[in-house]
Amino acid sequence: MLLRRFEKQLDVDMEKSASDSGFLKFTGYDIVFQEVPGEVSLALNLSRCPFRCPACHSPYLRENVGEVLDEKSLSALLEKYGRTVTCVCFMGGDAEPEAVARLAAFVHRDYPGLKTAWYSGRESFPRDFRKEDFDYVKIGPYREALGGLRSPATNQRFYKMEEGRMEDITSVFWKKPFEDF
């Protein structure tokens, strides 16, 4: 269930964009309940998706669109919503996994009350992935025949990170609602 929706579909502005390498861009953000069970999340929709899943739910996210997401722009959002949310959820960003991890570490360091989550479309964790940067990670491409996280047949996995351990809690998404998470 979406509590509040803050849509901010941003214009393509290649002139203002930073270098394509090492930067994330976001096309909008929402405050959501269900993407990370038990958390109220600021979900950031990241563009420049390098994948081409058949039946992609948001093809525009494959484009080089939106505003740069860095420590400065993320801080501006957290000044507004940091007290409303318990978690920052990076939706995508697979073209720049190091940048996602860098911002997640920044949230942990500068906003110690907030958790971090990453929704990745990768088949597996990137090289040099640091578990301690995230509290939750969803991994796996979207396969229409298998369904998303709410389908018991899904190929996608949702992990909770705790004290260096990774627990597969995907089955939480098969319950409705999440009260017993």
Chain residues that interact with ligand SF4, rule: CB under 6 A: 49, 51-53, 56-58, 61-62, 121, 141-142
Q: How far is the CB of 125 from ligand SF4 (least distance, A)?
A: 15
Q: How far is the CB of 170 from ligand SF4 (least distance, A)?
A: 17
**CB-nearer residue toward ligand SF4: 108 or 143:** 143
Long-range (24+ apart) CB contacts under 8 A made by 128-135 are: 128/98, 129/97, 129/101, 130/101, 130/105, 131/161, 131/164, 131/166, 132/108, 132/161, 132/164, 133/101, 133/104, 133/105, 133/108, 134/101, 134/104, 134/161, 135/87, 135/160, 135/161, 135/162
Q: How far is the CB of 152 from ligand SF4 (least distance, A)?
A: 20
Q: How far is the CB of 120 from ligand SF4 (least distance, A)?
A: 8
**CB-nearer residue toward ligand SF4: 12 or 53:** 53
**CB-nearer residue toward ligand SF4: 82 or 92:** 92
**CB-nearer residue toward ligand SF4: 52 or 83:** 52
- Report which residue type is found at 129: F
